[in-house]
Amino acid sequence: MAAPAPFRTLRFKFNNLSPFSPTNGNNLFPNRFLRLRLRSTAAAGRCSMFVKSPPAVKNGFLTFNGKNTLLGVPENVVMTPCSDSSAFLGAVSAETNSRHVFKLGVIEEARLLSLFRFKIWWMIPRVGNSAKDIPVETQMLLMEAREQADGNTAYVLFLPILDGKFRSSLQGNLDNELEVCVETGDSTKIGPGSSRAVLVNYGDNPFGLIKESMKILQEYSGTFALRETKQIPGMLDWLGWCTWDAFYQDVNPQGIRDGLKSLSEGGTPARFLIIDDGWQDVANEFQKEGEPFREGSQFGARLMSIRENDKFRKAANDDSSNKPHNLKDFVSDIKGTFDLKYVYVWHALMGYWGGLHPNSPGTQKYNPTIKFPLQSTGNLAHRRDIAMDRMEEYGVGIVDPERIFEFYDDLHRYLVSQEVDGVKVDVQSILETVATGLGGRVSLTKSFHESLEKSISNNFQDNSIICCMAHSTDSVYSAKMSAITRASDDYYPNNPTTQTLHIAAVAYNSLFFGEVFVPDWDMFYSLHDAAEFHAVARAIGGCGVYVSDKPGKHDFEILKRLVLPDGAVMRAKYPGRPCRDCLFVDPVMDRKSLMKIWNLNKLCGVLGVFNCQGAGAWPGLENSVQLDSLELTGEITPADIEYLNEITLQPWTGDFAVFSFKSGSLSRVSLHGKLRVNLKTLQCDVFTVSPIKSYNQDIQFAPIGLINMYNSGGAVDAVEGVDDSSCNKIQIRGRGEGILGAYMNLEPKFCYVNMEEVQFKFSSEQHFLTVTVPTGTNFWEIDIHY
């Protein structure tokens, strides 16, 4: 049976005497039909029915579905309806300028989630209860509102957007007024403001609301594409290794060989490699040889040519045996030796941190000029960044916008000739700081991204780009092809106060980024105090999985819970995002809330629970929290997982089998049934949630998957019941080796793996069946006879 439709629309014709007709004679439905939208979420246990009335601004109130959202809306605010639930908001001034700040109205006593840039490069979440809690540079604002009639929760979403030459962001003031800042980033590009600065939408499912809103915005702007329409690079499905935290800029060929070798010998071979910063031909005039190291001076270095440096290239008179002849020689060698499927290399959007050297023979054809970045007022309101500080001091060698495609095309064509498969493109938000005289930040970013994506398409075969340091909406709303972006600040292995923040930030940021990209959770160390914390997050994040271990420094027990013996990872279906009851709490600093992240596999849900309390504080709030370990107790329920109707097809019993990786226990739970979770700081658990279905009347069955893996359900591809004259059995198809677990109400008679009979164990108390999949098995078909 097909899955129930997520929406049904009923149309009732009425006359002027109808009880649905407005008593004041003003017909809100000019086509004389009332449209009721029934959201079918029976599988998730959330049903609602409500009448949507169009958004409106009247008498100083912005209303959605008849409920006040903003109070005291100024007269210069313009509202343009977009759909039955959405509208554009903006404002104009009598004065023309390159930057305006307009008041939109008051927000008080409402739960809020802001996603804002705390650095020019990166975004983090913040929760609050009124507009004064909304930070400068907010790029997504979600507000909770309660329906007065039935008590159901509804949500209002604010998305500041790009409109012509203006880019918008939100902020609050001390009078609890929501403000929109519109700016061009170029003092010569001025205007009266923007009549369409913010898309505002209303709905009863926060995830569906964000998805619907981004689709509306994509169709309106045409400047970006949604994740579900993009080609997804194949490297996401394989274990990766990034050289950054292993070597930093001291990366070298022998170190890379050593790291690949130790991962392979440990039984978790990397099939994807990122050669990060340190391979390029650069010069740094700001760090003189023999002088004491100046912190941040590396961000002044400039690119001298598009070729590799002498660590990866042998000079004509060099007869050493351990240095490759060139980059191609090295890449070809490691691909053949370690069975690598993908090799990516790092470069900055402008070539290198300090851009291109203006006087180098290898870069002069791109006509670079030194420009000194200028940050916006919004960026200066938050955390300073040493990379940005140094670039402001030293200047950046900006490629002539007329020649930017030529630069990217030359660079990428050269890399392809060296057998490189793709690129990680960093430092993308630099464009907004150098836009004066170059057309403004919106136009400049659009131009560079079009050239970058055209070059990627022309030269690489697999949409092979990872975007990084690109959290500005200038970049997000220019991404027509790019399918992966880093969703967090860096992973800092030597900073114990950032580990919990990293997990929470990516989960919340994925609410926004996940509609346009596959959010990238960054690398991590498998041998680290917080290694399992990070590993579980990657297992459920629907993201790429890559480590940055130093050679020989691995925890293979953790890696083998993530990676199959052939190097494949079992990636979940969607970007991992916070559960609904986590949207307006602070799982890092409120000292009571656990972080819960949900996702789906083909046949089951997965739920990660993390104790992020007591180990760190959000930037800007460091003085308001006590850092000490906390033990917290919380609850989970199958209803924490959204879109369960995608996997609870008939014949579903209405219950779920829930498996805890941490305890190894299996429970039968109803849709809203609860299980308690107890975790200390930096502890986590992952739950596989599988619908129990009826087969052949007598059998109730739910696959758990490979219970030796964090995301156990990712191993299962299909389940089928067979009932004929010859046998009665459940047939499961999947991949990987280890122990298959399943809920089954009756003990089987015997089990087969790929037609070979195997032993099994069955707990009659938990109805827990386990079958060992032999070592060396990549794909299997398991027959359970009863």
Task: Average the pLDDT over 518-524 and give the result.
Answer: 98
Query: To the nearest whole number, what is the mean pLDDT of the chain?
Result: 92
Q: How sure is the predictor about 723, in pLDDT bands with cuts at 50, 70 and 90?
A: confident
Task: Average the pLDDT over 137-166 and give the result.
Answer: 89
Beta bridge partners of 670: 655
Asked if residue 120 lies in contact with residue 388, where contact means CB atoms within 8 angstroms, the answer is yes
Is the CA virtual torsion 661, 665, 668, 672 positive or negative?
negative
Task: Average the pLDDT over 125-150 and give the result.
Answer: 90
Peptide bond into 651 cis (omega under 30): yes
Q: How sure is the predictor about 2, in pLDDT bands with cuts at 50, 70 and 90?
A: very low
pLDDT for residue 27: 31
HSE (side-chain half, CA atoms, 13 Å) at 659: 29
Task: Average the pLDDT over 210-229 and give the result.
Answer: 97
Q: Quick check: 324 pLDDT over 80?
A: yes
pLDDT for residue 35: 32
Q: Mean pLDDT lowest for which of 39-43, 69-73, 195-199, 255-259?
A: 39-43
Percentage of the chain with pLDDT > 90?
A: 85
pLDDT for residue 448: 98
Q: Mean pLDDT lowest for which of 160-164, 187-191, 566-570, 620-624?
A: 620-624
Q: Quick check: 26 pLDDT over 70?
A: no
Which position has the token pair 């200038």?
Answer: 474
Residue-by-residue DSSP string for 422-476? EEEEE-GGGGGGS-TTTT-HHHHHHHHHHHHHHHHHHH-SS--EEE-S--SHHHH
pLDDT for residue 180: 98
The tens digit of pLDDT for each residue in 768-786 reads: 999 999 999 999 999 999 9
Task: Average the pLDDT over 399-427 and give the result.
Answer: 98
pLDDT for residue 150: 63
- Whole-angstrom CA distances from 460 to 224, 236, 414 are 20, 16, 11
The tens digit of pLDDT for each residue in 637-677 reads: 999 999 999 999 889 999 999 999 999 999 999 999 999 99
- Cα 372 to chain centroid distance, Å, stands at 32
Asked if residue 520 lies in contact with residue 487, where contact means CB atoms within 8 angstroms, the answer is yes
Asked if residue 610 lies in contact with residue 587, where contact means CB atoms within 8 angstroms, the answer is yes
CA distance 115 to 207: 15
pLDDT for residue 353: 98
Task: Average the pLDDT over 679-691 and give the result.
Answer: 98
- Whole-angstrom CA distances from 17 to 132, 188, 512, 528 are 46, 59, 45, 71
Q: How many CB atoms lie within 10 A of CB 294?
A: 13
pLDDT for residue 314: 87
Rounded to the nearest 5 degrees, what angle is found at the Cα of 260, between the Cα atoms of 256 and 263?
140
pLDDT for residue 29: 28
Tokens of 73: 């809306």
pLDDT for residue 675: 98
The tens digit of pLDDT for each residue in 68-122 reads: 899 999 999 999 999 989 999 999 999 999 999 999 999 999 999 999 999 999 9
pLDDT for residue 727: 83
| Position with higher pLDDT, 513 vs 295 | 513
Strand pairing of 716-723 and 728-735? antiparallel
Task: Average the pLDDT over 454-472 and give the result.
Answer: 97
pLDDT for residue 148: 53
CB under 8 Å, gap of 24 or more: what pairs does 662-666 form? 662/686, 664/707, 665/766, 666/704, 666/741, 666/743, 666/763, 666/766, 666/767, 666/768
Burial 423-457 (b: 16+ CB within 10 A, else e): bbbbbbbbbbbbbbebbbbbbbbbbbbbbbbebbe
pLDDT for residue 627: 80
Residue type at 538?
R
The tens digit of pLDDT for each residue in 45-77 reads: 443 444 467 889 999 999 988 888 999 999 999
Q: How sure is the predictor about 308, in pLDDT bands with cuts at 50, 70 and 90?
A: very high
Task: Average the pLDDT over 5-13 and give the result.
Answer: 34
Tokens of 175: 């009078």
Q: How sure is the predictor about 529, in pLDDT bands with cuts at 50, 70 and 90?
A: very high
CA distance 73 to 513: 30
Q: How many CB atoms lie within 10 A of CB 105?
A: 22
Taking each continuous run of H as one helix and of E as one strand, the counts in the chain are 12, 46
Which position has the token pair 């009598």?
Answer: 94
The tens digit of pLDDT for each residue in 739-773 reads: 999 999 999 999 999 999 999 999 999 999 999 99
181 three-state secondary structure: strand
Rounded to the nearest 5 degrees, what angle is found at the Cα of 373, between the Cα atoms of 372 and 379?
155
The residue ranges of DSSP E strands in 150-275, in sequence order, are: 153-160, 162-163, 166-172, 177-183, 191-203, 239-242, 272-275
Q: How sure is the predictor about 579, in pLDDT bands with cuts at 50, 70 and 90?
A: very high
Q: How sure is the predictor about 323, in pLDDT bands with cuts at 50, 70 and 90?
A: confident
Percentage of the chain with pLDDT > 70?
A: 92
The tens digit of pLDDT for each residue in 467-505 reads: 999 999 999 999 999 999 999 999 999 999 999 999 999
Which position has the token pair 């969703």?
Answer: 487
| Position with higher pLDDT, 22 vs 277 | 277
CA distance 467 to 12: 49
